[in-house]
Structure 1
């Protein structure tokens, strides 16, 4: 059995039994019993039809083969569970709970004959397929080693939320939904939807019973036919109820494959292309912004001012969204400043696991002789002592340990920086001054609004100075 798995990779228990039957010259039932009783082979159970299990060796975890094998096995033999894995894979391995509820077709409230979202997700967590950190679900690093980009994933979710809000305003303004009924992340048919609105349009009314506009959204990733199956199944589900209300379903996208488009049209689903809903220029700006977010370090090296152009465009088309993602954009500012002095890599929004916790590195700058890790706060209020204590007491020790484990960085100096567009309270500055003057094993620096502006001035970058004055720093210091 181990020889078969070594050659073939992870296999479903019935496939392994058939191969064992052939190689050993025994009947299928005997082979199947031997597979079931073998304790050396690892198995994932409880997700597949006919009590099948996925059989694998420990080496498959290290080789990175297990996730893809599990994904394929669930698609073919446990479709209702596969939606969870596909949603995580579609979003870079990390997703907010409310979005995961949308991208799976599990009821969020008790529904006869259906396992609820909470029970299914708990099953994934107990099996160590997913981790949960109070708000976000993450593919377990034991299943798939992924460099989680928190900056991109969280910012794209903010962008999605803004588009959903704009979609609500649009449907209200043209009279498609009734005033004050737009509901982001609403529940309908005991399922979660990115958008729900009540409609009194004649074609949707049944006597005095209104219809509904329901929508979900996928952007910032290639969309194939399999990726829209969750939405098709959700629509089938709510339409199967006795006396079901009439609905108009929308899937909001920036782009999708021909096969996905055909599948949605075949099932009578309206496709809400962002360029058609909100204009070509705005759609292009969002697409470029998401591309920059997904490739932050490379973008800062190849086109360091691209994000500055996007800020200007975004403020023109949607200033509210620009303000909502100011924090993410400020990380680009700090990364931009470091990219001009470092010939090596710049990384933004990287998540690490250290000291039994997840920690997000806002900016990671790799110099020839040192590693710089910067914390960035783009708030109007001053950074307080509690925030600084958490940074000094929890984050820095974790970052220091993690850097020490990176083979090529062991001999480099390490520096920690805190950048705050709102400045610091007196207590916070007092603590930072003390640490920066007394720390001997590493360097600690902090940057107030005037320090940040002076950095831009010394760079001689007019665009950056304008962005700082007009967007980030608000008032001159």
Structure 2
């Protein structure tokens, strides 16, 4: 065992500067030699490129399996590379997944070239290259290599759609009351080299400097607890902008559904307007969003305990916010499939995510545990039919991963396994051919598939008038 290993094994993960100090005091090395010793030691893992003074975060392979490892790594960034710490904090507060546009909002790192700063995209590439983050289409996720958290892509996408909707309504509100010029108002613009959720040009007298207009800028936090550290990105962005010469006057607004008292006091002490959604748009609007978020965050339990609550919510959304309802139709369809299973299964899980033996994440929409079987359901409410490429991904990636997961759990091994594919708009001919072949030839598990009419028939079989109405009116859009 090397000297570095002995110290890290005894003391735990630490910064390279601290490890150098131990090598100097315990082994009599000079600082320069100690630094080279760390770099040359192949048993010492290092995270680099995020710390001041060229330091590294040093750890052993065994540390990655410890419960507090990611917290230790996050603390190292907070103390030695805070501008990069915001990236991890944004992911943690959002449940381990954030789209790039919101991630850019939730940091105080410039998205446009700024002297002495690397481009933000390059910083994110460093996180991905070192296996700290994964990039999936437009979203960044915490890697299971370092953080064993579980994310829910579909539910996060729905919450993000809610945030988009609130920002769009905020834009309309600020125009109606004359806070911003009617011809302005942008979502996810750049201002002062930083990304904001909203920006509008304002000619309100208190913001004018001669003929120079001011601005309204805003970000939104919604769907999770918000603490003091979670609002500091917004404060730091504003403080950096205020240091610029000839910076415009601003009205900064942080839109929230709820807020910890310490966070509220901090924001007010910095002169930031806190826009509570219920005060901006009314109690009915806010309560609908709160109810929707609660259902999304507790999907399985909600369907088992109050299975028709989401149906009332869909009707309410169609009446007051049809745009939002359509934007989260895919997630709401998962609730329909979950509802169908919930009447007979023992337990239910929506947005189930697993990690395979290669540390890759896989997610399925509904997992239903019965006395004699486990049903894994994929649900799609797309406008187009499901094609053979999507079926092949399901067959080649998801089915093997979830089959191995089930067989790896002792209490599940003797249960029958059923893989289902639900598509409101059905399947292309070649996709159906592939599904029928798998259904006829599979020996280890059963395969089923359903289209929109099948969903309607299930609702009729359940004698659930409310479900039938929602399937027809919202998902199939036919007359009841």
- Aligned equivalents of 2:422 and 2:31: distance in 1? 65
Aligned to 2:158: 155
Change (3 A) 1:186 1:35: same
1:412 matched to 2:404 = no
- Aligned equivalents of 2:359 and 2:28: distance in 1? 47
1:92: Cα distance to partner?
A: 1.0
- Aligned equivalents of 1:302 and 1:32: distance in 2? 60
- Aligned equivalents of 2:314 and 2:355: distance in 1? 28
Native 8 Å contact 1:285 1:310 kept in 2: yes
1:330 matched to 2:312 = no
1:379 matched to 2:361 = no
- Aligned equivalents of 1:465 and 1:200: distance in 2? 51
After superposition, the C-alpha distances for 1:26-82 in whole angstroms (9 at most, x for unaligned) are 589599556666543333233223333323222211123321001111111211111
Aligned to 2:13: 10
Aligned to 2:199: 196
After superposition, the C-alpha distances for 1:418-457 in whole angstroms (9 at most, x for unaligned) are 2122334455445544443444432222222222122122
Native 8 Å contact 2:21 2:31 kept in 1: no
Matched residue of 1:475: which SS? coil
After superposition, the C-alpha distances for 1:174-231 in whole angstroms (9 at most, x for unaligned) are 1111123221111111211111111222222233332211111111111111111111
TM-score w.r.t. length of structure 2: 0.90
Out of 54-63 and 329-338, give the one that drifted further.
54-63
- Aligned equivalents of 2:11 and 2:291: distance in 1? 41
1:459 matched to 2:453 = no
1:46 matched to 2:49 = yes
Aligned to 2:310: 307
Aligned to 2:353: 350
Native 8 Å contact 1:254 1:274 kept in 2: yes
1:78 matched to 2:81 = yes
1:133 matched to 2:136 = yes
Aligned to 2:272: 269
1:249: Cα distance to partner?
A: 1.0
Select 1:116's aligned residue among 94, 106, 119: 119
1:11: Cα distance to partner?
A: 2.5
- Aligned equivalents of 2:66 and 2:103: distance in 1? 28
TM-score w.r.t. length of structure 1: 0.91
- Aligned equivalents of 1:213 and 1:475: distance in 2? 44
- Aligned equivalents of 2:81 and 2:317: distance in 1? 42
Unaligned runs of 5+ in 1: none
Select 1:254's aligned residue among 253, 257, 262: 257
Native 8 Å contact 2:334 2:350 kept in 1: no
Change (3 A) 1:230 1:311: same
Native 8 Å contact 1:2 1:41 kept in 2: yes
1:445 matched to 2:448 = yes
Change (3 A) 1:306 1:44: same
After superposition, the C-alpha distances for 1:93-141 in whole angstroms (9 at most, x for unaligned) are 1111111111112222211122221121122122221111231111111
Matched residue of 2:318: which SS? helix
Out of 411-420 and 352-361, give the one that drifted further.
352-361
- Aligned equivalents of 2:448 and 2:94: distance in 1? 34
Out of 338-347 and 272-281, give the one that drifted further.
338-347
- The number of residue pairs the alignment matches comes to 476
Unaligned runs of 5+ in 2: none
Change (3 A) 1:356 1:43: closer
Native 8 Å contact 1:335 1:348 kept in 2: no
The aligned runs of 1:81-100 (5 Å cut-off) are 81-100=84-103
Aligned to 2:236: 233
Out of 311-320 and 285-294, give the one that drifted further.
311-320
1:347: Cα distance to partner?
A: 3.1
Native 8 Å contact 1:354 1:401 kept in 2: no
Aligned to 1:173: 176
- Aligned equivalents of 1:74 and 1:342: distance in 2? 45
CA RMSD of aligned residues (A): 2.7
Aligned to 1:146: 149
After superposition, the C-alpha distances for 1:228-273 in whole angstroms (9 at most, x for unaligned) are 1111111112222111112111111111111111111111111111
Native 8 Å contact 1:149 1:350 kept in 2: yes
Native 8 Å contact 1:150 1:350 kept in 2: no
Native 8 Å contact 1:253 1:271 kept in 2: yes
Change (3 A) 1:476 1:373: farther
Change (3 A) 1:359 1:39: closer
- Aligned equivalents of 1:157 and 1:463: distance in 2? 27
- Aligned equivalents of 1:384 and 1:132: distance in 2? 24
- Aligned equivalents of 2:454 and 2:473: distance in 1? 16
Change (3 A) 1:381 1:475: farther
